[in-house]
Structure 1
């Protein structure tokens, strides 16, 4: 039994080639149990009398080898490693064989494996829909990373690909879905039941198998391209009454399939593409081949009621998941250490498709504001990890579904694509997909294909980005007509040690300079270098913020760039503000330098630049929130900065105005209200009261979150209860998330505590509860309530959220990084030192690093910030 030395994997004695899964006796209520049979066609490498598979929460009740006398002798379960050793009465000989296993499982409520999801229907459901009186149920699967084994016994590793056949017995008036089209239906074992079977899939990893059962209906479109002479049907499935909210996603999905078929030069390989809205869902979506599952807010959009920001989310998430149909499904990473190959690429190409469909959204500027900056933030901590992170045991993989795998991965791919040229880059990707179709591949396989397409040694300059932790800051020193640049690793704590600063990155410089401006491309491949022929009047490093690094300019140059912002692209302006904020935190720059830069953005017109300004300002306000004098000065600074823009923007949404214009209006109103803009707060209160009085149109659908936030932050128990009541009764897909976030904005400590209590009740699903802690974390006056509640109510918190490690980790990771007090960090560390932190151990280190950085920043800049605020009339 040979095993790769760096992985804890199954023995390689038996390799599956096809699974035939049959589920029956589904118990809709009570224990929620079911029975099943799986026939596994396999190739046996060497003689053996045992079969080792993955199982979790599954009981094997019988085993036989078809065509032989071998049957089950014994089954030994290794629960910690989620394996079973099936001993047979006779040995298997080398060659092809079929192993048949009967088993029992459970349709759990943990949002993993084969699970049940409760919901309240908007229309009367079909009579066969399971119900407990208060809720009805649908059923679906979530197998990534290691939960196919909770649904049926299998060889649950990504490089053990096999084809799948599936059938399930269900009530006659319900719908079953799976990866492939329905093959046929026959009468079930009892009256009122039917057995639905599906066509055989191509070879794929177990984590991509999927099925769903429920009272479903759908909207349908077809691809414009023909595939094997046919236009492929594309459907968005929902529970009864919601299908029309799937049309926005549908309109994008069929176009995206055609777009990816074109740019990858590989036709979509399956005969159908289904998208399913799932009512309880831990992640955003899951790329199951041919049956992609989504959280409702990631796929449904109500033109009359939904906030327009969800259009952007739905379009991107649909594109991301459909990108996986090629990159991840057709070609799969060999092992979980290369998860980034799936997620980093799907993130980049998801934005590429969104930009193709919506150039007016300027999504690459959005990517720099949201994705790129988030990746830089996490990767600036010692607690970060390389993009390609060692994974010995697959059960460790959940915690690397993070900003490094997704966002640093996609940022480095964007950097590489920009360097090679998008056409050459996509040619290399297409070659990679064709070579490894229906198989598995490694990062080096992608580099090989890109090297051949480009004629460059891609592996040589990309390896440090993928295999080393962190990223560089490029520090600029000026001389007449030239600049010297030096790279060193950037840490947000600002205390880099020599042994942590040994990586030399390949850095695309991208110098924007001259009049008229031009971009001069070169690369920094040593610790330092000199660039000549630089226009002393104007230059900027990292044009369009395509390189994954920070730039540290001399303070006078930073101020000059702020005054020259009309000569900079949107991405440049976003990068300038993001860098200045991060460098202030780390001590490479200062808060006064950041604020001096921001003063020049009062007349900014771009929503996405304003979003970065608001984010950088929010960080400063958060860190210095306990100093009342500094807080008041920052509020005054924000008020002066935003007032002209919000007063020009107004409250009214014009018909057919650009999406970005509406998003800017909403952002400015929110920022103005937080800054104490009296007219904005008064108008918000007026609209809230009118809406409360029954005028549903008083609050525009795009302003619900802003007005609710404002009402709660500036109100009391009455406003808080009003928003809570709206949470309980809203039928809007995005309404519940909006309400939960607003409830966390209260200045009343008791009400903030009540929100967290409410989040622990059955009225708030586990996957939504983290919105409450995120809102509290952003509440500078009361964020400590979030930690104290978690600490004092840990049994309740861990019990409710622990149904999913991902949900529990999200609560921890997103709730406690904003503190700037080492005493809080110590309290958190002491509390968890004797707890089982397996699900969130990495996040605890992130919290510790983040608080240490914030505390050092506060101690270093507090006095100088107050002095600047006073000198400039803000304090």
Structure 2
């Protein structure tokens, strides 16, 4: 079969079968270099005198090819830096058939959070004497190879469908620990005193981006699966640097239960002999699913029962489940090429939530999913700058920018919609069949649809194709007649200006009509641009029951008001969906802010955390857009205060023992939002607690209220409060403490403090992975937002130097820091500023920023006068 022409890939002359990789002469400090020898067992398709292989920042010293009959030596090597390839020329033709390519090379343990890299940390206890150090910082070493960074650690065929098995060994100081995908095979004496050589078992066939190793002063907590695998309970470990292992217990408990759960629902046992989770101190993403050795940023895997904010429980449980889902979906069966990244990420996101729901039904995670996955996905996908779920990727180096809300959140929302339509049991049976059929190989989207079609006896591909291959999603406009409604679908854009050529897709839309007393859900699908639904109860109906379809609904204004007054007939998901839709429709001009605020007033007696969380999200968006209009700002603040105060006053400050997790989250949210809207009683109580804590009473602030009270103190304080939290950032030992402090520092109303915070996140004291937390806090603050752009503009060279080593980190700075404006002049400035800059790592994000500001500016201009009138008429001004 000829290689696809739509991909820029390596020549298909040589196919790797097994990598035997050995690393030695690791210089742990100084220039951080190491030597490597990789022997690649390969199948040579046709005679060739040269080898083209992926490398990045490696120096190839020598190469030989050993075939059955000859040994052929390297005569020359040349590098193509832009394509990240090396071409090795040999003294004679490599004959077709089996061969071993042996390459000696030199590499660097970098500090760019990609490839084979080092992470610095301040130890909590005395580390092993050979732990690399430079003064107060110590180092651990680990890898991050997705998407195209394995080539930064060893010469390889770095494409997802060139699967091979891996054998790995490394020489390290005797008192350090080495980990890899598989269990240790042997530990032998090293080449000199004080060193040991650690070798690992051979892996199954897998993609290069899933290979992994780590070296450091590690310790672990261990548990075992309840199920037996090949007659044994599987060992599951959480590794940390010395002194932190006890904070891994929460993740450990979830990990072994999740492995058993997935083995059951997929009908395929976990395929490796062990499962390790490793906390990495500097980490660009949330986590990485390396087969058998999953790596995590510390806040995504560690949890301290005594000190951590309880919200991190939910995060740890979910991230652990997401990465373990990949052990099957992504690792056992891998997408054929990067354009189908969503197959990995969309599925792991959905099934990650499925596992958390199984372990914690009391958390109502599907309601959380509607708020935190469906809504952000709809928001990004309503921009012209969006992209289809399955996006063409010609060159793999472009792929970093599609690790976004479309691949993860829209992908998982579409899978949830399909699972709800087919029925979860049928859906999972189809997934299990797909995994069995393609195990240890690669697959494409249509392979999944084929398995699901066979399991369900429905033509899944036909109705899913537009959702995957077309950009955007529909809004369904509802028109009422007695006893029936007519529905019309069209593409939704947040800018409200869809052109006819942008509105040619007809989506398959599950209508999910909830109607009658008691309410029942009637399932049907809208498969044309328009249709009529009969037998509708005029008293009550809602379409898209439980928000299982990925679309917006535009009701007549009176119906929206009526729905807001019937909260008892709506599920939590319904309420979240209604508010999300009303906000988006106000922004696009299909609805109004007045209609949105009237809807929100109907929920003031609500007692559910996730509904209040959505109310806060909607109001924060509106308040940000109109922040420069002082009169409207004051009116919206009063509206927020009146809406939140009764619930905040009722819930109080105390956390009773054994309280439900969601109630604790609700308390934090209500107190924080009421304080943000100016509730003087709550602010003064918060200040009192802060003063007692500052005076040395550590128990004055409950661990779950650190964020709320720190935010309150800084927002309503001055230099002293700001300096206190900055000092707390430097000394906190809690795993989430630094994140909480950065957010709090961004609450100051002083532009000087905002500038200082951005200087601070650019300093050595804050790891680059956390820099975006600073700019997100400044940009999210209505008083200091302008500083985010001013600082970026004036310090661009420094930002590029410090954050630019890792695409993900610099892209995040742009995306979270510059999209909150409602001013077309700032948009034009941003576009103009980046015209002559290298924007390869964040070009897509710049278009998103531009589109978002455009829609905010249009919305502000269109709704300003009417909103002001409504606030006056309803006595908020």
- Scaled by the length of structure 1, what TM-score is found? 1.00
**Alpha-carbon distance, 1:2 to partner:** 5.5
In structure 2, C-alpha distance between the alignment counterparts of 1:818 and 1:605, rounded to whole Å = 30
Aligned equivalent of 1:725, options 717, 724, 727: 727
The residue that corresponds to 1:93 in the other structure is: 95
Q: Deviations over 1:524-560 (max 9, x none)?
A: 0000000000000000000000000000000000000
Q: Higher mean Cα deviation, 795-804 or 336-345?
A: 795-804
**Alpha-carbon distance, 1:860 to partner:** 0.4
**Alpha-carbon distance, 1:193 to partner:** 0.1
Q: How many residues align?
A: 875
In structure 2, C-alpha distance between the alignment counterparts of 1:144 and 1:778, rounded to whole Å = 30
The residue that corresponds to 1:340 in the other structure is: 342
In structure 2, C-alpha distance between the alignment counterparts of 1:762 and 1:624, rounded to whole Å = 36
In structure 1, C-alpha distance between the alignment counterparts of 2:185 and 2:854, rounded to whole Å = 59
2:40 aligned with 1:40? yes
In structure 1, C-alpha distance between the alignment counterparts of 2:859 and 2:44, rounded to whole Å = 61
CA contact (8 A) 1:642 1:672 kept: yes
The residue that corresponds to 2:839 in the other structure is: 837
The residue that corresponds to 1:771 in the other structure is: 773
The residue that corresponds to 2:19 in the other structure is: 19
Q: Deviations over 1:633-667 (max 9, x none)?
A: 00000010011100100000000000000000000
Aligned-partner SS, 1:218: strand
Aligned equivalent of 1:528, options 527, 530, 553: 530
The residue that corresponds to 1:6 in the other structure is: 6
Aligned-partner SS, 2:53: strand
The residue that corresponds to 2:86 in the other structure is: 84
In structure 2, C-alpha distance between the alignment counterparts of 1:66 and 1:743, rounded to whole Å = 61
CA contact (8 A) 1:3 1:10 kept: no
In structure 1, C-alpha distance between the alignment counterparts of 2:570 and 2:414, rounded to whole Å = 22
The residue that corresponds to 1:662 in the other structure is: 664
2:595 aligned with 1:593? yes
**Alpha-carbon distance, 1:3 to partner:** 3.8
Q: Which ranges in structure 2 are unaligned for 5 or more consecutive residues? A: none
In structure 2, C-alpha distance between the alignment counterparts of 1:803 and 1:766, rounded to whole Å = 9
2:266 aligned with 1:269? no
**Alpha-carbon distance, 1:93 to partner:** 1.0
For 1:539-688, what aligned pairs fall within 5 Å after superposition?
539-688=541-690
**Alpha-carbon distance, 1:607 to partner:** 0.2
In structure 2, C-alpha distance between the alignment counterparts of 1:695 and 1:308, rounded to whole Å = 21
In structure 2, C-alpha distance between the alignment counterparts of 1:804 and 1:63, rounded to whole Å = 30
The residue that corresponds to 2:286 in the other structure is: 284
CA contact (8 A) 1:348 1:411 kept: yes
CA contact (8 A) 1:69 1:90 kept: no
Q: Deviations over 1:287-341 (max 9, x none)?
A: 0000000000000000000000000000000000000000000000000000000
**Alpha-carbon distance, 1:477 to partner:** 0.3
Aligned-partner SS, 1:66: strand
Aligned-partner SS, 1:505: coil
**Alpha-carbon distance, 1:92 to partner:** 1.0
Aligned equivalent of 2:322, options 315, 320, 324: 320
The residue that corresponds to 1:435 in the other structure is: 437
Aligned-partner SS, 1:356: helix
In structure 1, C-alpha distance between the alignment counterparts of 2:625 and 2:459, rounded to whole Å = 44
Q: Deviations over 1:703-728 (max 9, x none)?
A: 11111111111111000000000000
CA contact (8 A) 1:379 1:385 kept: yes
In structure 1, C-alpha distance between the alignment counterparts of 2:370 and 2:478, rounded to whole Å = 22
In structure 1, C-alpha distance between the alignment counterparts of 2:161 and 2:397, rounded to whole Å = 16
For 1:9-408, what aligned pairs fall within 5 Å after superposition?
9-66=9-66, 68-408=70-410
**Alpha-carbon distance, 1:134 to partner:** 1.9
2:819 aligned with 1:817? yes
The residue that corresponds to 1:788 in the other structure is: 790
In structure 1, C-alpha distance between the alignment counterparts of 2:130 and 2:873, rounded to whole Å = 72
The residue that corresponds to 1:851 in the other structure is: 853
Aligned-partner SS, 1:46: coil
Aligned-partner SS, 1:43: strand
Aligned-partner SS, 1:657: coil
In structure 2, C-alpha distance between the alignment counterparts of 1:629 and 1:64, rounded to whole Å = 75
**Alpha-carbon distance, 1:69 to partner:** 2.5
CA contact (8 A) 1:381 1:493 kept: yes
In structure 2, C-alpha distance between the alignment counterparts of 1:457 and 1:660, rounded to whole Å = 40
In structure 1, C-alpha distance between the alignment counterparts of 2:812 and 2:3, rounded to whole Å = 33
For 1:508-519, what aligned pairs fall within 5 Å after superposition?
508-519=510-521
RMSD of Structure 2 on Structure 1 (CA): 0.6
**Alpha-carbon distance, 1:749 to partner:** 0.8
Q: Deviations over 1:605-626 (max 9, x none)?
A: 0000000000000000000000
Q: Deviations over 1:186-227 (max 9, x none)?
A: 100110000000000000000000000000000000000000
Aligned-partner SS, 2:9: coil
In structure 1, C-alpha distance between the alignment counterparts of 2:584 and 2:708, rounded to whole Å = 27
**Alpha-carbon distance, 1:66 to partner:** 2.5
In structure 2, C-alpha distance between the alignment counterparts of 1:615 and 1:870, rounded to whole Å = 23
**Alpha-carbon distance, 1:344 to partner:** 0.1
CA contact (8 A) 1:158 1:334 kept: yes
In structure 2, C-alpha distance between the alignment counterparts of 1:134 and 1:787, rounded to whole Å = 34
In structure 1, C-alpha distance between the alignment counterparts of 2:558 and 2:656, rounded to whole Å = 41
In structure 2, C-alpha distance between the alignment counterparts of 1:273 and 1:440, rounded to whole Å = 22
**Alpha-carbon distance, 1:512 to partner:** 0.3
Q: Deviations over 1:755-792 (max 9, x none)?
A: 00111110011000110000011101110101100000
In structure 2, C-alpha distance between the alignment counterparts of 1:358 and 1:134, rounded to whole Å = 41
In structure 2, C-alpha distance between the alignment counterparts of 1:654 and 1:493, rounded to whole Å = 46
Q: Deviations over 1:577-613 (max 9, x none)?
A: 1110111000010000000001111110000000000
CA contact (8 A) 1:355 1:361 kept: yes
**Alpha-carbon distance, 1:673 to partner:** 0.5
In structure 2, C-alpha distance between the alignment counterparts of 1:546 and 1:779, rounded to whole Å = 33
**Alpha-carbon distance, 1:21 to partner:** 0.3
In structure 2, C-alpha distance between the alignment counterparts of 1:820 and 1:283, rounded to whole Å = 29
Stretches (4+) displaced over 3 A: none
In structure 2, C-alpha distance between the alignment counterparts of 1:292 and 1:847, rounded to whole Å = 33
Q: Deviations over 1:1-31 (max 9, x none)?
A: 9542100000000000000000000001111
In structure 1, C-alpha distance between the alignment counterparts of 2:708 and 2:507, rounded to whole Å = 42
In structure 1, C-alpha distance between the alignment counterparts of 2:846 and 2:121, rounded to whole Å = 33
In structure 2, C-alpha distance between the alignment counterparts of 1:828 and 1:702, rounded to whole Å = 38
In structure 2, C-alpha distance between the alignment counterparts of 1:827 and 1:239, rounded to whole Å = 45
Aligned-partner SS, 2:221: strand
The residue that corresponds to 2:539 in the other structure is: 537
In structure 2, C-alpha distance between the alignment counterparts of 1:785 and 1:811, rounded to whole Å = 14
2:873 aligned with 1:866? no
In structure 2, C-alpha distance between the alignment counterparts of 1:617 and 1:541, rounded to whole Å = 24
**Alpha-carbon distance, 1:738 to partner:** 0.5
In structure 1, C-alpha distance between the alignment counterparts of 2:550 and 2:770, rounded to whole Å = 32
In structure 2, C-alpha distance between the alignment counterparts of 1:10 and 1:802, rounded to whole Å = 27
CA contact (8 A) 1:70 1:88 kept: yes
Q: Which ranges in structure 1 are unaligned for 5 or more consecutive residues? A: none
In structure 1, C-alpha distance between the alignment counterparts of 2:213 and 2:854, rounded to whole Å = 46
